[in-house]
Amino acid sequence: MPLTTWATDYVHLVLATGRHDPNFVDAYYGPPAWKAAAEAGEPRPLPAVRAEAARLLEGVAAAEAGPGEAVRRDYLRGQLGAVAAHLARLAGQAFTFDDEAEALYQVRPPVTPEADFEAALGRLDQLLAGPGPVQDRYQRARERVIVPTERVDAVFQAAIHEARERTRQHATLPASDHFRVEYVRDKAWSAYNWYQGGGSSVIQVNLDLPITIDRALDLAAHEGYPGHHVYNALLEQRFAQERGWVEFTVYPLFSPQSLIAEGTANFGIEVAFPGVERLAFERDVLFPLAGLDPQDAAFWARVQAELKLLAFADNEAARGYLDGHLDRSQAEAYLMRYSLRTAAQAAQRLRFIETYRSYVINYNLGEQRVRDWVNHQGGTADQPTRRWAVFVELISSPRLPKSLGF
């Protein structure tokens, strides 16, 4: 059978799996009838869906790949492996954190020693001078750069506009490119991009969480340009539309594609806004729009730089909690100490970890692996044009972590 037949069955499999986990299908813009069929009646029983995943894995491994299709077969095998593992989990099979991450995202997350976090905390302790624990001083500094709710939309629209203009200079966006913002509450995430197909996205921003000024640009670039929205739009255009590769009309969340998606969305922030340019834009445009003091911009940027390493504390908290080495209050305490979160923020993050589990590695480890890969291709920070070119090539490619040598 040609790969296209297997790819069609893969789409049906992902939709059938979605009946057993409402978070699984992140985006679908294939034939509406397929989705309607998957959603009609009772869900297919889990053992039958698992048997189908096993059949497809075997079939794709043995399928003839036509010219230019080797990468397509690699993609399908990687994605199918993750679907099979996720189905095993849904059927009750227990995975350790590391095994789950490897089965779903094709990477084994390294352990970050606590000493590394302590060293970063020590640097922040120096930077955030004053009495009391560094966590409290960080929160006080953070309160100075919270965007007032009534100004969030203006700040956010300005950030999106700038991120889009910068991206357009390096990537050809579909003529139908469209990106809409909605404000929501009561979610496990701070923002979410829902790709609709046809070059269109709806991004939802959770207003329950106070939005600091740096988050405006992070979210605009991560969810929008050149992040998730552009990644989805380019894959749809280049593969689903131009080549008829139907597997690119569905996006299963718990799959290796997510490490590339989150890694490029996070790294894309500094591709679009390299350090000094970011500082200039935030200080001169976003701080005034938010009614904040532009003189705080440089200091806050230095604090943010130290938080990069501390992002990996999420992995350690998640591993400890999900593997049963930390109970809830210990995991929350860990997040408060090393991620500098308040008690409420730590509880919110643990809620995210319970829902999305080892997915947390895709943000920090994904970003690190994507940065390393782009640098390795010559896209170093001192070669911004090359950096953009390598980056755009990656977000319009079906390659998964394994085929990038991660």
According to DSSP, the residues that pair with 146 across neighbouring strands are 212
Minimum CB separation of residue 66 from Zn ion in Å reads 33
For Zn ion, the closer CB: 87 or 109: 109
In the region spanning residues 146 to 205, those forming contacts with Zn ion, defined by CB under 5 A, are none
Measured distance CA(120)–CA(335) in Å, rounded: 14
Cβ within 8 Å of residue 338, ≥6 positions away? 114, 117, 121, 310, 313, 316, 317
Q: Which two tokens stand for residue 45?
A: 């029983």
Binding-site string for Zn ion from residue 229 to residue 268, where x marks contact by CB under 5 A and - marks none: ---------------------------------x--x---
Please state whether beta strands 200-206 and 178-184 pair in parallel, antiparallel, or not at all (unpaired). parallel
Identify the three-state secondary structure at position 251: strand
CA Rg value for the chain? 21
Taking the least distance from each CB to Zn ion, the nearer of 81 and 263 is 263
Which is closer to Zn ion, CB of 262 or CB of 332? 262
Cα distances (Å, whole numbers) of residue 56 to 5, 49, 60, 235, 370:
10, 11, 6, 22, 29
SS3 238: helix
CB of 367 to Zn ion, least distance (A): 11
Of residues 13 and 265, the one with the C-beta less far from Zn ion: 265
- Closer Cβ to Zn ion, 69 or 262, answer by number: 262
Cβ of residue 183: shortest distance to Zn ion, in angstroms?
Answer: 18
Nearer to Zn ion, 120 or 217 (CB): 217
| Nearest distance, CB of residue 226 and Zn ion, angstroms | 13
| Per-residue mark of binding to Zn ion, 272-311 (x: CB under 5 A) | ----------------------------------------
- What's the token pair of residue 56? 């497809």
CA–CA dist 248, 3 (Å, integer): 13
User: In the bound complex, what is the minimum distance in angstroms from residue 223's beta carbon to Zn ion?
Assistant: 6
Q: Which is nearer to Zn ion, 262 or 367 (CB)?
A: 262
List the interface residues with Zn ion, window 28-57 (CB under 5 A). Answer: none
How many residues of this chain bind Zn ion (CB under 5 A)? 2
Cβ 159 to Zn ion, closest distance in Å? 16
Q: How far apart are CA 293 and CA 30, in angstroms?
A: 47
| Residue 259 beta carbon to Zn ion: minimum distance, rounded to whole angstroms | 11
d(C-alpha 69, C-alpha 234), whole Å: 18
Least distance in angstroms from the C-beta of 192 to Zn ion: 8
Q: Between 87 and 265, name the residue whose CB sits nearer to Zn ion.
A: 265
Nearest residue to 272 via CA among 222, 200, 345, 206 = 222
Instruction: Output the CA–CA distances (angstroms, integers) from residue 381 to 89, 267, 272, 275, in the order listed.
Output: 40, 12, 11, 10
The residue with tokens 């990656």 is: 394
CB-nearer residue toward Zn ion: 239 or 267: 267
Q: How far is the CB of 188 from Zn ion (least distance, A)?
A: 13
Tell me the CB-side half-sphere exposure of residue 253, using CA atoms within 13 A.
19
Residues that bind Zn ion (CB under 5 A): 262, 265
